[in-house]
């Protein structure tokens, strides 16, 4: 069988791209003085359906399923399994994630409105996990223990999540949806520059695990662009899942994972796998201008802080100010700083701690925090504290409402889904005989109060490790509707930067009226409270703007591009427009009339 080739990356006028901030923080100095600028994404249009993902072959898998008559759920399942094969370093069946499902009223009985549901299939802490499991006898954090190797792995949720959403809303048979992924795994596909870069950064840890070494290296050396990577064990595992998805949790795949864990000092047992259940949750929704913005609720912090920042913007006419105006960047950066300060204290798994979602997303609270922002002077992060509980207690919810892949079908069902194995190549370990690369999601817990995780995020009690608890996430799949109709769906990877990337993509469309290609391409900035720095994308902002922001007290760092967003927008005349971030290698694929790849 021939190996599968995919089109070369479309836009090449940038060189080094960090689509994962964590890698940048932990392995590289991130400062850059070069003047690279990101190119413009390709715009794909279609009337009938659209799939956008981080890899052309994964988008193609979803497109094929739409063409076969599948709906958005079917196509998302096929795309996600394909990602698991062609982008195993970013997400897959050894990890977990979140999805939002949007369904128009005519597709649901007794339903008046466009309905949005959230599914949490994030990894959970094993039953044997303990609060101090990453501390040594002196009580110090054992370096990299939550990042590398079997102890870093949380109980994976991807297979259960995809099966759950398919069971209720899928149209085509489950086994058909895994076929493209099985083909990619058994016939192989060409490794890209991006794949090689990720691999080289994690080569040390991968070489320590014989299974991972066998699959991802040639005698310990990274596969190079153009090499064909075949994953036979994964193909077999996917065939088993195609026949019976439960095998991942109670069958022979579960046994292989549990055996591998026991042999290598990991904590996950058969009981952990058997008890894993995805959780349907109510999305958090709020208003911005005429739009209803719905995003992922805790245990992701994404939705809460996306809404919080939009609320702090409030009625400010950012459009009039201009997107690259220092006033705009300053206001948003100060709002980001406040939001991430609150995140550090209040956000965690709502099944274990009380998360004041309504207060944090209330407009009254946003107005109060907005008053604290001095437009002429940045406030050092040490002076910006999470809200005191008594302050927060005054605010109540005022509104009745509340690798990323985005799929929209002809009926305007939509899946907006972000899933992950956390850091590149997760924990760097593959469960023997399964081909499954396992996550290192345990690092998203606060391993000790105030100790930063891979993304520099700090946390405390609310995000402490507890058995069966879900680590706090920043993943922010979002769906926007107006007057009951779909407006856009979007999301991004990038650790702590996810929230601010999604915020800017949403603002680019809703406030700055960009088309979707411009919206995912436009230069970005990021602030996360701690460390106290404002990161600007190299080449994206004028020197005058950067100087002005410095004058206002911001500690500026220039970084090459981050994030790998994608989005689909429904235009005024009802057409779909999709685009994948030019910082990555993803692709939008339309089906039907005016889809450019029919
Ligand atoms: O859930 C989270 O927030 C992180 N585990 C996401 C990791 C991520 O985006 C990797 N970066 N490119």
What integer is the mean pLDDT of 142-151? Answer: 96
Tell me how far the alpha carbon of residue 494 lies from the centroid of ligand 1, in angstroms: 5
Q: How confident is the model at residue 395 (pLDDT cuts 50, 70, 90)?
A: low
Whether 496 lines ligand 1, by a CB cut-off of 6 Å, is: no
Tell me how far the alpha carbon of residue 500 lies from the centroid of ligand 1, in angstroms: 13
In this prediction, residue 3 carries a pLDDT of: 43
Tell me how far the alpha carbon of residue 492 lies from the centroid of ligand 1, in angstroms: 9
**Selected residue with higher pLDDT from 113 and 92:** 92
Say how far apart CA 9 and CA 55 lie, in whole Å: 10
- Residue 149 reports pLDDT greater than 50: yes
**Is 538 one of the catalytic residues?**
no
CATH 1.10.246.130 residue ranges of the chain are 281-399+493-538+545-560
Mean pLDDT of the chain: 91
Tell me how far the alpha carbon of residue 455 lies from the centroid of ligand 1, in angstroms: 8
Q: How confident is the model at residue 597 (pLDDT cuts 50, 70, 90)?
A: very low
**Two tokens, residue 571:** 């235009």
In this prediction, residue 594 carries a pLDDT of: 62
Q: How confident is the model at residue 392 (pLDDT cuts 50, 70, 90)?
A: low
Q: Which atom of ligand 1 is nearest to the CA of 496?
A: 3
**Two tokens, residue 271:** 């009981």
SS3 content of the chain, % helix, strand, coil (to 5): 35, 20, 45
**Selected residue with higher pLDDT from 534 and 25:** 534
Taking alpha carbons only, the member of 123, 77, 127, 446 closest to residue 268 is 127
What integer is the mean pLDDT of 147-157? Answer: 98
| pLDDT tens figures, 457-492 | 999 999 999 999 999 999 999 999 999 999 999 999
- Residue 37 reports pLDDT greater than 90: no
Whether 301 lines ligand 1, by a CB cut-off of 6 Å, is: no
Looking at CATH, the fold of the domain delimited by 281-399+493-538+545-560 is given as: Serum Albumin; Chain A, Domain 1 (1.10.246)
Q: Which atom of ligand 1 is nearest to the CA of 20?
A: 12
- Which stretch of 109-123, 177-191, 416-430, 580-594 has the lowest confidence by average pLDDT? 109-123
Per DSSP bridges, beta strands 221-222 and 217-218 are antiparallel
Compute the chain's Rg from CA coordinates: 22
What integer is the mean pLDDT of 84-96? Answer: 97
Tally of CB atoms within 10 A around 500: 30
**Selected residue with higher pLDDT from 363 and 387:** 363
* Most confident listed range (24-33, 290-299, 446-455): 290-299
For residue 478, what are the β-bridge partners? 295, 490
Q: How confident is the model at residue 388 (pLDDT cuts 50, 70, 90)?
A: confident
Q: Which atom of ligand 1 is nearest to the CA of 22?
A: 11
- Residue 448 reports pLDDT greater than 60: yes
In this prediction, residue 14 carries a pLDDT of: 30
| pLDDT tens figures, 212-255 | 999 999 999 999 999 999 999 999 999 999 999 999 999 999 99
| pLDDT tens figures, 48-61 | 999 999 999 999 99
Q: How confident is the model at residue 387 (pLDDT cuts 50, 70, 90)?
A: confident
Tell me how far the alpha carbon of residue 125 lies from the centroid of ligand 1, in angstroms: 16
Q: How confident is the model at residue 334 (pLDDT cuts 50, 70, 90)?
A: very high
Q: How confident is the model at residue 111 (pLDDT cuts 50, 70, 90)?
A: low
Q: Which atom of ligand 1 is nearest to the CA of 492?
A: 9
Tell me how far the alpha carbon of residue 495 lies from the centroid of ligand 1, in angstroms: 4
- Residue 23 reports pLDDT greater than 60: no
What integer is the mean pLDDT of 145-150? Answer: 97
What integer is the mean pLDDT of 292-313? Answer: 98
φ, ψ for residue 302, nearest 5 deg: -55, -55
Q: How confident is the model at residue 17 (pLDDT cuts 50, 70, 90)?
A: very low
φ, ψ for residue 584, nearest 5 deg: -115, -160
Catalytic residue among 164, 402, 434, 497: 402
In this prediction, residue 106 carries a pLDDT of: 72
Pocket test for ligand 1, best of 124, 146, 420 (most atoms within 8 A of CB): 420
Q: 84, exposed or middle or buried, with CB in 10 Å at 0-12, 13-18, 19+?
A: buried
Tally of CB atoms within 10 A around 354: 9
Q: Which atom of ligand 1 is nearest to the CA of 423?
A: 10
**Whole-prediction pTM:** 0.93
Whether 291 lines ligand 1, by a CB cut-off of 6 Å, is: no
In this prediction, residue 38 carries a pLDDT of: 77
In this prediction, residue 19 carries a pLDDT of: 41
Whether 534 lines ligand 1, by a CB cut-off of 6 Å, is: no
Q: 532, exposed or middle or buried, with CB in 10 Å at 0-12, 13-18, 19+?
A: middle
Question: Do residues 313 and 365 lie in contact, with contact meaning Cβ atoms separated by under 8 Å?
Answer: no
Q: Which atom of ligand 1 is nearest to the CA of 474?
A: 3
Tell me how far the alpha carbon of residue 395 lies from the centroid of ligand 1, in angstroms: 30
Q: State the virtual CA torsion across 533, 535, 541, 547 in degrees, nearest 10.
A: 20
Pocket test for ligand 1, best of 498, 562, 565 (most atoms within 8 A of CB): 498
Nearest protein Cα to ligand 1, atom 6: 495
H/E stretch holding 390? helix 389-392
| pLDDT tens figures, 523-569 | 999 999 999 999 999 999 999 999 999 999 999 999 999 999 999 99
What integer is the mean pLDDT of 507-511? Answer: 98
- Residue 595 reports pLDDT greater than 60: no
Nearest protein Cα to ligand 1, atom 8: 495
Tell me how far the alpha carbon of residue 89 lies from the centroid of ligand 1, in angstroms: 12
- The number of angstroms, rounded, from the C-alpha of 564 to the middle of its chain's C-alpha atoms is 9
Tell me how far the alpha carbon of residue 321 lies from the centroid of ligand 1, in angstroms: 32
Say how far apart CA 385 and CA 344 lie, in whole Å: 10
Pocket test for ligand 1, best of 439, 493, 561, 564 (most atoms within 8 A of CB): 493
Whether 420 lines ligand 1, by a CB cut-off of 6 Å, is: yes
Q: Give the N- to C-terminal CA distance of the chain in Å, as an integer.
A: 25
Whether 495 lines ligand 1, by a CB cut-off of 6 Å, is: yes
Whether 493 lines ligand 1, by a CB cut-off of 6 Å, is: yes
- Residue 34 reports pLDDT greater than 80: no
Percent of the chain residues past pLDDT 70, beyond the cut: 90
> Mapping DSSP to helix (H, G, I), strand (E, B) and coil, where does residue 344 land?
helix
Contacts of 251 (CB under 8 A, 6+ apart): 240, 244
- Residue 288 reports pLDDT greater than 80: yes
Say how far apart CA 445 and CA 145 lie, in whole Å: 12
Question: Do residues 556 and 18 lie in contact, with contact meaning Cβ atoms separated by under 8 Å?
Answer: no
Whether 475 lines ligand 1, by a CB cut-off of 6 Å, is: yes
Whether 20 lines ligand 1, by a CB cut-off of 6 Å, is: yes
- Residue 261 reports pLDDT greater than 80: yes
In this prediction, residue 100 carries a pLDDT of: 98
- Which stretch of 18-22, 91-95, 244-248, 546-550 has the lowest confidence by average pLDDT? 18-22
């Amino acid at each position: 069988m021939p190996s599968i080739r995919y089109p070369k990356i479309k836009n090449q006028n940038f060189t080094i791209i960090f689509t994962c901030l964590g890698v940048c923080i932990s392995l590289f100095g991130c400062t850059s003085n070069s003047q690279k600028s990101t190119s413009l994404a390709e715009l794909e249009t279609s009337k009938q359906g659209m799939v956008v993902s981080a890899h052309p072959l994964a988008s193609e898998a979803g497109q094929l399923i739409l063409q076969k008559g599948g709906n958005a759920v079917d196509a998302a399942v096929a795309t996600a399994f394909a990602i698991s094969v062609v982008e195993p370093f970013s997400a897959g069946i050894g990890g977990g994630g979140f999805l939002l499902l949007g369904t128009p009223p005519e597709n649901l009985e007794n339903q008046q409105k466009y309905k949005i549901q959230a599914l949490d299939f994030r990894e959970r802490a094993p039953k044997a996990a303990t609060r101090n499991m990453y501390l040594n006898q002196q009580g110090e954090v054992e370096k990299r223990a939550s990042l590398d190797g079997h102890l870093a792995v949380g109980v994976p949720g991807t297979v259960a999540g995809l099966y759950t959403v398919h069971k209720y809303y899928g149209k085509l048979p489950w086994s058909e949806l895994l076929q493209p992924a099985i083909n990619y795994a058994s016939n192989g596909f060409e490794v890209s520059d991006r794949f090689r870069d990720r691999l080289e950064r994690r080569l040390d840890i991968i070489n320590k695990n014989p299974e991972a070494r066998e699959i991802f290296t040639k005698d310990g050396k990274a596969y190079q662009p153009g090499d064909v990577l075949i994953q036979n064990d994964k193909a077999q595992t996917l065939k088993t899942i195609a026949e019976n998805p439960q095998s991942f949790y109670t069958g022979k795949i579960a046994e292989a994972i549990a055996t591998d864990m026991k042999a290598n000092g990991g904590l996950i047992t058969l009981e952990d796998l058997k008890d894993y259940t995805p959780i349907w949750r109510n999305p958090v929704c709020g208003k911005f201008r005429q739009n209803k913005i719905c995003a992922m609720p805790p245990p992701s912090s994404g939705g809460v802080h996306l809404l919080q920042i939009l609320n702090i913007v409030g009625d400010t006419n950012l459009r009039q100010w201009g997107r690259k105006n220092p006033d705009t960047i300053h206001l948003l950066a100060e709002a980001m700083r406040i939001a991430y300060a609150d995140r550090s204290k209040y956000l965690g798994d709502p099944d274990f701690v009380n998360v004041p979602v309504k207060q944090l997303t209330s407009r009254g609270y946003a107005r109060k925090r907005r008053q604290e922002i001095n437009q002429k002077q940045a406030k050092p992060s040490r002076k910006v504290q999470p809200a005191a509980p008594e302050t927060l207690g005054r605010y109540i919810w005022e509104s009745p409402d509340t690798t990323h892949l985005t799929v929209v079908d002809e009926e305007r069902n939509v899946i907006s889904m972000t899933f992950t194995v956390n850091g590149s190549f997760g924990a760097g370990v593959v469960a023997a005989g399964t081909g499954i690369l396992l996550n290192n999601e345990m690092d998203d817990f606060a391993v000790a109060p105030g100790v930063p995780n891979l993304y520099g995020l700090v946390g405390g009690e609310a995000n402490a490790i507890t058995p069966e608890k879900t680590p706090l996430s920043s993943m922010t799949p979002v769906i926007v509707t107006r007057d009951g109709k779909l407006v856009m769906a979007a999301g991004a990877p990038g650790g702590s930067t996810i929230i601010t990337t999604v915020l800017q993509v949403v603002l680019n469309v809703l406030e700055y009226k960009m088309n979707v290609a411009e919206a995912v391409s436009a230069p970005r900035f990021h602030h996360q409270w701690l460390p106290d720095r404002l990161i600007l994308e190299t080449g994206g902002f004028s020197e005058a703007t950067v100087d002005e922001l410095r004058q206002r007290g911001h500690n500026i760092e220039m970084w090459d591009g981050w994030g790998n967003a994608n989005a689909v927008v429904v235009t005024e005349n009802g057409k779909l427009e999709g685009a994948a971030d030019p910082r990555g290698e993803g692709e939008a694929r339309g089906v039907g009339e005016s889809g450019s790849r029919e």
